[in-house]
């Protein structure tokens, strides 16, 4: 693996993004969550004041793909295209002894000298070449040694290249942003659910994944690393497509049920059953969730335990069977 780094002007970086030479989608990219307006504003403010910001890491894969720093670059690109206005509580900016107001302003409303200052701001960009996916995952595991990773994130370095690619394809589906909160996305709940969906798709008399505990998820990853079933993965993506189609933008599905509901759509597509009937059943389930004591009793003993997982799987399998 070869790593080289250099400071790049924001003007150069945003031009490359516009031309499609820098892209934000890659299977090794980790979701960082959706930044708040305050966080976005502070990034732009830091660049204007010359404060250092965290580097951006990219891999050369035909194009320059960002694998760490997506939020930083996408925020900058959005701002210079008037995607948002800065927070109203930012202090005035002093450049060459002149005071400029930046609070509450979109890029197009900034003074020209402030625009020039921002476009000339430097961000350190690392380019990684001659790498294997395993090397890059190991590198980021060590880079984050001082910052605790959550349970789901710790499993990523254990995945094979094939499994990592499949997980990335599923994670990139827009339905997760619809069904989960920003906080859940930032905590990699979507990654955990993706692994659970794959586990459920493999559940059979011949394979018992045990539970949704970290240990059993790690065992599943080791089992599935060289057994990725592309046909099943395609059906899972079709299930997410259908869920994205039938559920509105304000739907929020409890994370304790999301993997099971996706599994149901996967099964219905696989078994050629009625999607509309399943959708009606799921919508009723969501509407009546707070009063569904039967279902809640299945998660009282812990949502990761083998007993709870198998009980919920039986609950949803019964629904599919009766369609």
User: pLDDT tens digits for 132-164?
Assistant: 877 877 777 676 655 555 555 666 667 887 888
Name the range with the highest mean pLDDT among 148-152, 159-163, 193-197, 223-227: 193-197
Task: Pick the range with the lowest mean pLDDT from 98-107, 161-170, 194-203, 259-268.
Answer: 161-170
- Give the mean model confidence (pLDDT) for residues 210-220: 89
| Residue 26 pLDDT exceeds 80 | no
| Residue 27 pLDDT exceeds 90 | no
Token pair 């007993």 is found at 307
- Give the mean model confidence (pLDDT) for residues 272-277: 94
Q: How far apart are CA 247 and CA 128, in angstroms?
A: 40
Q: pLDDT band at 83, cuts 50/70/90?
A: very high
Phi-psi region of 87 (alpha: psi -120 to 50; beta: other; left: phi over 0): beta
In angstroms, what CA-CA distances link 74 with 25, 188, 192?
12, 19, 25
| Residue 34 pLDDT exceeds 60 | yes
Helices (H), 121-212: 133-143, 151-155, 161-171, 175-179, 182-186, 189-202
* Token pair recorded at residue 98: 């002149």
Helix (H, G, I), strand (E, B) or coil at 62: coil
Helices (H), the chain: 10-19, 37-49, 70-80, 112-119, 133-143, 151-155, 161-171, 175-179, 182-186, 189-202, 214-224, 230-246, 255-271, 275-287, 293-296, 306-321
| Residue 124 pLDDT exceeds 80 | yes
What is the pLDDT at residue 114? 96
Query: What backbone torsions phi and psi does residue 94 show, to the nearest 5 degrees?
Result: -110, 120
Task: Pick the range with the lowest mean pLDDT from 183-187, 275-279, 308-312.
Answer: 183-187
Task: Pick the range with the lowest mean pLDDT from 32-36, 120-124, 253-257.
Answer: 32-36
What is the pLDDT at residue 303? 82
| Residue 265 pLDDT exceeds 90 | yes
What is the pLDDT at residue 198? 94
Task: Pick the range with the lowest mean pLDDT from 38-47, 79-88, 156-165, 196-205.
Answer: 156-165
| Residue 33 pLDDT exceeds 60 | no
Mean pLDDT, the chain, rounded, equals 88
| Residue 257 pLDDT exceeds 90 | yes
User: pLDDT tens digits for 58-76?
Assistant: 998 788 988 888 889 999 9
User: pLDDT tens digits for 287-311?
Assistant: 999 999 988 898 877 788 889 999 9
- Give the mean model confidence (pLDDT) for residues 308-315: 92
| Residue 205 pLDDT exceeds 70 | no
pTM > 0.75: yes or no: no
175 and 248 in contact (C-beta within 8 Å)? no
118 and 10 in contact (C-beta within 8 Å)? yes
**Regarding predicted confidence, which is higher, 68 or 43?**
43
What is the pLDDT at residue 187? 77
């Amino acid at each position: 693996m070869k790593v080289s780094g250099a400071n790049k002007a924001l003007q150069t970086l945003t031009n490359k993004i516009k031309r499609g030479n820098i892209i934000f989608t890659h299977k090794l990219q980790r979701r960082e969550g959706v930044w708040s307006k305050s966080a976005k504003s502070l990034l732009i403010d830091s660049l204007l004041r010359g404060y250092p910001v965290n580097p951006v890491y990219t891999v050369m894969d035909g194009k320059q793909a960002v694998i760490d720093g997506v939020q930083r670059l996408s925020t900058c690109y959005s701002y210079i295209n008037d995607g948002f206005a800065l927070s109203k509580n930012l202090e005035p900016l002093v450049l060459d002894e002149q005071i400029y107001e930046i609070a509450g302003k979109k890029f197009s409303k900034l003074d020209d000298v402030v625009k020039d200052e921002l476009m000339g701001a430097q961000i350190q960009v690392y380019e990684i070449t001659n790498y294997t996916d395993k090397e890059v995952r190991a590198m980021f595991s060590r880079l984050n040694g001082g910052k605790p990773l959550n349970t789901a994130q710790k499993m990523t370095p254990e995945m094979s290249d094939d499994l990592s690619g499949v997980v990335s394809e599923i994670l990139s589906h827009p339905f997760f942003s619809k069904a989960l909160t920003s906080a859940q996305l930032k905590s990699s709940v979507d990654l955990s659910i993706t692994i659970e969906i794959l586990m459920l798709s493999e559940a059979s008399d011949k394979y018992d994944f045990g539970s949704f505990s970290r240990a059993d998820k790690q065992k599943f990853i080791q089992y599935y690393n060289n057994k990725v079933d592309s046909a099943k993965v395609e059906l899972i993506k079709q299930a997410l497509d259908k869920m994205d189609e039938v559920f509105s933008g304000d739907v929020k599905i409890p994370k304790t049920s999301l993997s099971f509901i996706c599994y149901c759509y996967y099964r219905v597509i696989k078994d050629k059953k009625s999607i509309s009937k399943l959708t009606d059943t799921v919508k009723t389930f969501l509407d009546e969730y707070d009063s569904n004591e039967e279902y809640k009793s299945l998660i009282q003993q812990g949502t990761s335990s083998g007993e709870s997982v198998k009980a919920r799987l039986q609950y949803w399998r019964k629904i599919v069977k009766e369609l």
